[in-house]
């Protein structure tokens, strides 16, 4: 669906996205084209940053281009249900709010362009799960925080994030400080805590055993020293007579 470069305004029509039932099915095997039996039509769309003429138009829409309009408001969460979507271009509008994490559900998405808007907040870590993503453009917004790492995000360069002064981390030259760095997951924290508790208990057990061993050694050593002192006091022959008397 290409409605780019018009004068449309207002919020993005969430009810329209909800009616795109065919685009919610990511398991369709065969694509059909408009007029393939009697005529063919064509359309020029912007795909991955390039204007390309499609000589055939699919009956199941797999791209949405609403760029270069005057749309306002937030990006609808419902877009995350369009799982067969290959491309989404909402650039050059006046969109506000944050990037919805639900976009991570677009597992077939190959290009995503949200540039030249007024988006704020951070980049959702969940977007790294879109392993089919080839073109990614968030430039000219008001995004902040660390850029997520992993999968396709390792391949995007500075141009994907330019003119977002609040962003930091790879591939930008701006280094994130400790307060901006991503925090470890709760599972990892729990694992580290359990490991710490194990070694703490082991250390306590070792310490208790060490104290007990030293105490017993001290008692045994004290008895030996007492025997030596008595033997020296009474003399060797008298000591032997005392021992024979107790043994007899």
SS3 track for 32-52 = CECCCCCCCCCEEEEECCEEE
Query: So where are the chain's domains?
Result: 9-168, 186-247
Q: What are the DSSP calls for 96-161, one per residue?
A: -SPPPGGGGG-TT--EEE--SS--EEPPPGGGGG-TT--EEE--SSEEEEEPP-SGGGGT--GGGT
Confirm if 145 and 122 have CB atoms less than 8 A apart: yes
Res 247: pLDDT: 53
Domain 9-168 has CATH 2.40.40.20: no
Tens of pLDDT along 198-236?
Answer: 445 445 555 555 445 545 544 444 445 544 555 555 555
Check the CA dihedral 125-127-129-134 and report its sign: negative
Mean pLDDT is highest, among 33-47, 65-79, 204-218, for 65-79
Is pLDDT larger for residue 190 or for residue 146? Answer: 146
Q: Is the pLDDT of residue 84 over 50?
A: yes
Copy the structure tokens of residue 14: 């969430």
Give the pLDDT mean for 4-29: 79
Helix (H, G, I), strand (E, B) or coil at 9: strand
Is pLDDT larger for residue 33 or for residue 4? Answer: 4
User: Residue 31 to residues 62, 189, 212: CA-CA distances in angstroms?
Assistant: 10, 46, 78
Q: How much is the mean pLDDT over the chain? A: 75
Q: Which residue, chain included where needed, has tokens 């022959």?
A: 237
Copy the structure tokens of residue 206: 């070792």
Q: Which residue, chain included where needed, has tokens 């104290």?
A: 211
Tens of pLDDT along 88-99?
Answer: 999 999 999 999
**Residues across the chain:** 248
What phi, psi does 139 have (nearest 5°)? -65, 155
Tens of pLDDT along 87-140?
Answer: 999 999 999 999 999 999 999 999 999 999 999 999 999 999 999 999 999 999
């Amino acid at each position: 669906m290409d409605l780019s470069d018009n004068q449309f305004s207002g919020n993005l029509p969430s009810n329209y996205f909800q009616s795109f039932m065919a685009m919610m099915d990511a398991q369709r095997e065969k694509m059909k084209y408009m007029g393939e039996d009697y005529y063919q039509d064509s359309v020029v769309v912007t795909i991955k940053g390039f204007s390309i003429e499609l000589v055939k138009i699919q009956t199941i829409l797999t791209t949405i281009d609403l760029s270069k309009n005057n749309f306002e408001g937030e990006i609808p969460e419902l877009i995350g249900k369009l799982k067969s979507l290959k491309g989404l271009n909402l650039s050059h509008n006046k969109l506000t709010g944050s990037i919805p994490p639900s976009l991570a559900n677009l597992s077939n998405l190959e290009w995503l362009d949200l540039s030249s808007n007024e988006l704020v907040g951070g980049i959702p870590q969940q977007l790294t799960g879109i392993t089919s993503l080839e073109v990614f453009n968030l430039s000219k917004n008001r995004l902040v925080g660390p850029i997520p790492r992993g999968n396709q995000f390792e391949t995007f360069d500075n141009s994907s994030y330019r003119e977002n002064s609040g962003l930091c981390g790879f591939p930008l030259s701006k280094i994130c400080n400790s307060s901006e760095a991503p925090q470890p997951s709760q599972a990892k924290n729990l694992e580290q805590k359990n490991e710490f508790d194990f070694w703490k208990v082991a250390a306590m057990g070792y310490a208790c055993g060490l104290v007990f061993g030293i105490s017993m050694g001290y008692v045994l050593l004290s008895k030996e020293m007492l025997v030596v002192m008595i033997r020296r006091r009474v003399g060797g022959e008298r000591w032997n007579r005392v021992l024979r008397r107790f043994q007899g």
